Chains A and B, each alone.
Chain A
Amino acid sequence: MNLPRLLHRSLLLAGAGALLAAGGGALQAKKKDEANPAVSFNKDPYPSTYKPYPGWPTALVGATVFDGAGGRIEGGVVLIAEGKVKAVGGADLTIPEGYQRVDATGKFVTPGIIDIHSHLGDYASPAVDAHSDGNEMTDPVTPNVWAEHSVWPQDPGFSRALANGGVTSLQILPGSGNLFGGRSVTLKNVYARTVQGMKFPGAPYGLKMACGENPKRVYGGKGRLPSTRMGNMAVNRATWIKAQEYRRKRDAGKLETRDLAMETLVGVLEGEILVNNHCYRADEMAQVLDMAKEFGYKVSTFHHAVEAYKIGDLLKANGTCAAVWADWWGFKMEAWDAIPENAGILYKAGACVVIHSDDANGIQRLNQEAAKAQGDARRAGIAIADAEVIRWLTLNPATAMGIDKLTGSLTPGKMGDVVLWNGNPLSVYSRPQMVWIDGALLYDAANPKRRPVSDFELGNPGMGDTK
């Protein structure tokens, strides 16, 4: 895959970027910008407080290892220590002293599963109105809202995604009611008292956008723009024009007040914030790709993308991933042309495939979704190796989310996000047996006390049950 590296998020101060753009070094301009809150502000005001939990050196011995990057090792050894993947190799890999051995003979090891499209926390269980926090449907343009301010860290769904799905990282997106839905947040799938305690350290922000039926239905129903697909595009373009103007004013030192919406959009224009665009139809994806060129930004991933198979070549050329279900179909007009071979045909075209859930149940079976797509591809004459299919759930979403330097594959030095499966994860009969996040054992099927129970479930019937 040729996904361009987009992300340079080390700069905390936007002013530093502006300085570089202006040539840098101009002391007077620097002083002026530092005094200007519209230019010089903290870009990470709700910082991650996540800290890895303690682990112990662990050697998984004898498993079939899918490394997430397309590699497969039979009878492999995976070493986890100090929160990191230490080494991955064959049976001949030396296991240093002090490692606790786990006999994984006949079992399978993968990197932690990553869901690029989840609403856990912003549409939490129970799905009562009081928990409906994913769509700020009072305006079609809300890049000013941040999903992390909606996420309820006690959503019981996180535990199901961990125990049944082996999910270790996930991107929580705003919904698709708006054209610009707001910022996403990427989490480690580790319960915490606060959202900050779950935030994936070093993950870039995303921006949720949406094409098609949803925005035009929501706002058409309110008798306002947009009520059509052309209205969608008109509002999108007008918004990007404003963002460009805002950026020019900022660079010219003419901003006086901050604008949260514009800050997000400028973040996109400057490549710091990744665009996650809900879009079903091929023709609309093509329009969005042109719009991105018109305004100078990049679409990282089209989500749902049920017609991506029609334009695999275009997606490949633009370096844009398609995050898809295996075989959701027909539930709305723009899903009428969904086919189960979507992922397979995309793969064959050389485009970046990601399997996503958008669903608190589906996130528990992303491995099965991938396997279904693999089987349907095979029947269509497209043979895809298991190790490549696992990449759709691991390294590809990590890359699309800008966290591939940190996780997504069993590469020494990356986070110790690892799943031991009790069988081939591409089988309906297999489940996670143990899950490590940053080297800490946070799920063990054999130990009920390594099974998280959210605050909400305390005292409820079935508390601590196998789910």
Chain B
Amino acid sequence: MSAQSHPPSPWGKGWGWGFGIGVVPPPQPLSNGEGLPSRAISLALAALLGILATSAQAQDIAITNATVVIGDGSAPIAGGTVVVRGGKVVAAGAGVPIPAGIPVVEAGGKWVTPGLVVAVTDLGLLDVEAVDESNDIEGDKGPFSAAQDAATGINPAAEPIAVSRAGGVTRAAVAPLSTNAIFGGQGAIIDLGHDADAVNRARAFQYVQLDEAGARRAGGSRVSAHAILRNALIEARDLARRFGPTVTAGDPRLANAMPERPGDALLTRFDAAALIPVVNGTQPLYVRAERAADIRLVLALKEEFSALKLVLVGAGEGWLAAREIAAAGVPVLATPLGDLPDRFEILAATQSNVGRMAAAGVKVGLGAFGDQPRYAPQYAGNLVGLTKVPGATGLDWGKAFAAISSIPAEILGMGDRFGSLKVGRAGDLVLWDGDPLEVTSGVVAVWIDGAAQPLDNHQTRLRDRYRTPTEGELPKAYEW
């Protein structure tokens, strides 16, 4: 078989950090951009790798001769350069000068993109989904709902974070939690850096379900869910009034004041307090809704609660209400590629949903796809594929990539921090061995805030152990 005749793998023992430069033949030369002789270049590579292997500190770096993807919807730029200093992008594009003395990665035509941003994931909240003890999503036997704070469950060392990082995901929005009510708690925005400090923004948004699943949590009907939501927002507004203006600046759950509340209050004080920023419009409300009729009801909430900052999640039938969504200026984190009438609320599901909403002027990012965040590029690539299918609506390449980078970042309110390679954004870079939306491509290197990231994980170590499955002189357990 042809598989027997290829050259030996470049992965050797001790390549523990999995830093990919040099992994994919031909070996990637490293130059400083000023024509240093080869010995100097290899010293520079060693120095660079040395830095990488000992710390996750931000470092200045230039990646040159790359196909550069800015991530803002524009087309890829061949022969481009990206420069990161002080953990931030200082330049990206064609004809960018390389600052003197900065370590340079010669990309040899490989692709550089912003790190992927995946919204509405369970990253960090679990190790193994089906192992209850390792799963911190399921809090529905607890007393609180809206007050639950996803940031308090995030484990930066969780293996799914390492695996997702190796797939090019650098930032994520973590929600919803499974609670005792329609509220999915307060979501967190995290980075996937190999360090102890994952949470970028805690309590970044509140999550509520106004879909079929929410109806079940509400006692069995959408009607009940809508009543519960309105009552909750009114109780929050009432509690804010009783607190007075001083407590609403920080985390209102932790306010010292304990004002009297009406005896018929349904929400716990903690839950009601958590909803104050929602009803004030300082914390976005992410609303899961699928059916076109449900989406229209969500948009109409603004008539009753004018300060709400709404984000639609899911929106499986969004294309049927695309003009209304666009007119309301409500962005969407859409589940991509759903095309089965799997529930009665998505009878009109089609893979063209995202493309049709975007064409109608809706700001659409991909999210809430329910499986591994590292699949984001495959989903985006499929949307590009749709552009060749008669009668279907997809996205062009630039917009498809933006749907997994800058657009979700903007929807998260972090568009000025990360999600693109515009000047001043975080130095979240991914180096790919080919077109990043193509399923045969893979990640070569990742930086987050300018810090080179390890890409090894449980899976890569199993791969290396079982590349040759039979035992050698010692059991497999001694190969590590």
User: Which of B3, B8, B440 is in CB contact (< 8 Å) with A371?
Assistant: B440
Q: Mark A327-355, 1 if CB is under 8 A from B, else 0.
A: 11111110011111100110111100000
Quick check: B440 and A337 within 8 Å, CB to CB?
Answer: no
Is B4 among interface residues, defined by CB-CB distance under 8 A?
yes
**B129 at the A/B interface (Cβ < 8 Å)?**
yes
Chain B residues packing against A (C-beta within 8 Å): 1-4, 6-11, 23-24, 127-131, 159-160, 163, 292, 317, 320, 337-344, 347-352, 372, 378, 381-382, 384-386, 388-392, 433, 437-442, 458-459, 462-463, 466-467, 469-470
10 other A-B residue contacts (CB within 8 Å) besides A340-B459, A372-B440? A330-B128, A332-B131, A336-B458, A347-B1, A361-B340, A371-B439, A431-B388, A461-B292, A461-B320, A466-B392
Decide if A430 is an interface residue (CB 8 Å cutoff).
Answer: yes
Expressed in whole angstroms, the Cα–Cα distance for A126 and B338 within the complex equals: 13
Q: Tell me whether A383 and B342 are in contact in the complex, defined as CB-CB below 8 angstroms, given that A310-B469, A349-B469, A428-B385 are known contacts.
A: no
Q: A361-B340, A375-B439, A461-B317 are in contact. Are A431 and B385 (CB under 8 A)?
A: yes
Query: Is residue A296 contacting chain B, with contact meaning CB distance below 8 A?
Result: no
Tell me whether B23 and A379 are in contact (CB under 8 A). yes
Structural contact, A160 and B469, CB atoms closer than 8 A: no
Q: In the complex, what residue of chain A is closest to B440 when comparing beta carbons?
A: A375
- With a CB–CB cut-off of 8 A, which chain A residues contact B437? 428
Q: Return chain B residues, CB-CB under 8 Å to A160.
A: 339-340
Query: CA separation between A328 and B390, bound complex, in Å?
Result: 31
Q: Residues of A with Cβ closer than 8 Å to B?
A: 125-128, 156-157, 160, 164, 213, 309-313, 327-333, 336-341, 344-345, 347-350, 360-361, 364-365, 368, 371-372, 374-385, 388, 422-423, 426-431, 445-446, 448, 456-457, 460-462, 465-467
CA distance A47 to B373 in the complex (A): 45
CB-based contact A345/B469 at 8 Å = yes
**B389 and A466 contacting across the interface, CB-CB below 8 Å:** yes
Does A461 contact B378, Cβ atoms closer than 8 Å? no
Query: Which of B160, B340, B372, B381 sits near A157, CB closer than 8 Å?
Result: B340
Give the docked Cα–Cα distance between A167 and B246 (Å): 62
Most buried by A among B1, B129, B388: B1
CA distance A336 to B337 in the complex (A): 26
Interchain nearest-CB distance for A160 vs B (Å): 6
Bound Cα distance A426, B434 (Å): 14
Of all chain A residues, the one with the shortest Cβ separation from B339 is: A467
- Inter-chain contact B390/A460, CB cutoff 8 Å: no
Residues of A within 8 A of B390 (CB): 445-446, 466
Chain B residues whose CB sits within 8 angstroms of the CB of A427 once the complex forms:
438-440
Q: Which residues of B contact A376 (CB under 8 A)?
A: 442
Given A349-B469, A381-B10, A457-B341, A466 contacting B385 (CB threshold 8 A):
no
Residues of A within 8 A of B338 (CB): 361
Q: Do the beta carbons of B466 and A383 come within 8 Å of each other?
A: no
Report yes or no: A445 in contact with B389, Cβ–Cβ below 8 A. yes
Find out whether the CB atom of A456 lies under 8 angstroms from the CB atom of B372.
no
Q: With A332-B129, A379-B433, A428-B438 in contact, do A461 and B466 touch (Cβ < 8 Å)?
A: no
Given A379-B24, A462-B349, A422:B1 Cβ within 8 A: no
A333 near B163: Cβ-Cβ < 8 Å: no
Contact A383 B6 (CB under 8 A): yes
Residue among B347, B351, B391 facing the most chain A CB atoms (10 A cut-off) = B347
When the two chains form their complex, are residues A126 and B11 in contact, meaning their CB atoms are under 8 A apart?
no
Given A126-B344, A348-B4, A380-B11, check contact A331 B388 (CB 8 Å).
no
Q: How far apart sit A347 and B3, CA to CA, in the bound complex (Å)? A: 8
Task: List B contacts of A333 (CB < 8 A).
Answer: 128, 130-131
Task: Specify which of A126, A336, A339, A422 is in contact with B341 (CB 8 Å cutoff).
Answer: A126
State A350–B292 Cα separation when bound (angstroms).
Answer: 51
